[in-house]
Amino acid sequence: MNGARALITTLVDNGVQVCFANPGTSEMHFVAALDTVPQMRGVLTLFEGVATGAADGYARISGGPAAVLLHLGPGLGNGLANLHNARRAVVPLVVVVGDHATYHKKYDAPLESDIDSVAGTVSGWLRRSLEVTDVAADAAEAIASARIHRHISTLILPADVSWDEGAAPLESAALQTDLAAVDASRAEAALRSGEPTVIMVGGDATDSAGLSAAVRLTQVSGARVLCETFPTRLERGAGVPAVERLAYFAEAATTQLAGARHLVLAGAPHPVSFFAYPGKASDLVPDDCAVHTLAGPVGAGAALAGLADRMAPTETAATAELARPALPSGPLNVSTSADVIGALLPERAIVVDEANTSGVLLPQSTAGAPAHDWLTLTGGAIGYALPVSIGAAIAAPDRPVLCLESDGSAMYTISALWTQAREHLDITTVVYANRAYDILRIELQRVGAEAAGERPGPKAESLLDLTGPTLDFVRIAKGMGVPARRVGTAEELADALQWAFGEPGPHLIEAVMPSIAG
């Protein structure tokens, strides 16, 4: 068989059964081979950033990798921002980048570019298959490496390696895990010290089991628990231990960490400011606070469980009660919109959150909703929610997906709506239409630009403003095959959510909101 067919067969034999694709000529043998491998599902996206984001969402929910098929360097470039987010999410992902035939590269044809350098910036594993007899082994190793290290494996596949005959699929690659053994002694000493201690959970410790372990430890030690600011997948809601997330704004995060003498990192990174600001510290840890790393993002849940079993063997973690807000009425704003979501969030929902400033009150309003998963913008590259929703919905077809999206962010990957429609995915998208890059209006003040004498004038304001013309998301969504409504009150949002949740397939609700930055 040819390289393409061996590759696809190896993917499915190793449990990779979905491929998010935006192919071109150099990937035509891969495309042609798809029908020979019935277990592989090909999902077309109209832009590569949708494909990479979808694979991120798929991995966050299924736990395993999807494949992504990209066309040469420009296709990889288009997919890079959501690969960046996936890298920060610490999820497994197998990226196949088609390239020119090995003998064609020297001609510097128009689409020739340095794929390896670009791929290297996001990939934990990177290889170029140079012989058709290598393809299956390379693919198996890519998958194994992605699964073990929860990173992006990128396989660059030259067209001739794809079309040449002589390949055979490979069932699996045995890779040694080289995860560091956990040394819990410093964390344990901190928790036994009686001094103010914060356990910060992140990585794979943000599921119910990891959170329970952390909360059990707080119950025997008096420590507090916080969650990293942007968890990959946070379990929360009724029946799940409740944790507060570290705030995005450094000022608030500093308050949350104030007084701590020990910080135990269980899967979370060392807390730093998202951006630097003139005259403000980047490192958010108090000066006299010792930092103890219990575990990195992979294995953090197990490390916490082990520690909890030793220190708190008989404890049962407190969990959140079922307590929804009442359905509010009146104009939509950050408060009423959040309460509507909290009141109506379906059982077992997957929430993909890119609401940004419009979502500031969502954590409180949804804390007592039925148990759900909350996905966040791990890498800060906006335009992640619409694509990630696709992958989440494909990984969990029996669960409702609620995509909370800002208007500005939506426009980076808006064609995701078309793929949602084509695949009949049960995704409800709420676009918070405040007609501005509202977060940047706040950041413009925070970075001290005004204080520096550069009072923003009309040109600066124009670059943060999304009116003139106003984006009509109802038309845009319908133009891509997604039924849509516009709402301006809490009652209308509630009605629209019930409509969207009540019908299969994707729906979009444009929620017209005031800007919070003014």
Of 45 and 365, the one with the shorter C-beta distance to a second copy is: 45
Of 340 and 425, the one with the shorter C-beta distance to a second copy is: 425
Under a CB-based contact definition with an 8 Å cutoff, are residues 173 and 192 in contact?
no
Of 53 and 57, the one with the shorter C-beta distance to a second copy is: 53
Under a CB-based contact definition with an 8 Å cutoff, are residues 167 and 6 in contact?
yes
Concatenate the DSSP letters of all residues of 321-335 into one string: PP-PPPP--SB--HH
Of 63 and 481, the one with the shorter C-beta distance to a second copy is: 481
Q: How many CB atoms lie within 10 A of CB 180?
A: 10
Q: Fill in the amino acid letter for 377.
A: L
Within 13 Å and on the Cβ side, how many CA atoms surround 133? 1
Under a CB-based contact definition with an 8 Å cutoff, are residues 146 and 65 in contact?
yes
Closest contact distance (angstroms) between CB of 386 and a second copy is 13
Closest contact distance (angstroms) between CB of 339 and a second copy is 29
Q: In whole angstroms, how far apart are CA 248 and each of 228, 252, 263, 479?
A: 10, 8, 18, 35
Of 159 and 385, the one with the shorter C-beta distance to a second copy is: 159
Closest contact distance (angstroms) between CB of 109 and a second copy is 5
Question: What element of type H or E holds 496?
Answer: helix 490-502
Of 13 and 160, the one with the shorter C-beta distance to a second copy is: 160
Q: Which residues contact 449 (CB under 8 A, 6 or more apart)?
A: 456
Structure tokens at 162: 């794809």
φ/ψ of residue 482, rounded to 5: -110, 120
Closest contact distance (angstroms) between CB of 103 and a second copy is 7
Structure tokens at 85: 């987010």
Of 110 and 313, the one with the shorter C-beta distance to a second copy is: 110
Closest contact distance (angstroms) between CB of 475 and a second copy is 3
The rounded distance, in Å, linking the Cα atoms of 3 and 162 is: 4
Closest contact distance (angstroms) between CB of 110 and a second copy is 4
Closest contact distance (angstroms) between CB of 119 and a second copy is 10
Of 261 and 478, the one with the shorter C-beta distance to a second copy is: 478
Closest contact distance (angstroms) between CB of 101 and a second copy is 4
| DSSP 8-state class, residue 291 | E
Q: How many CB atoms lie within 10 A of CB 399?
A: 17
| DSSP 8-state class, residue 500 | H
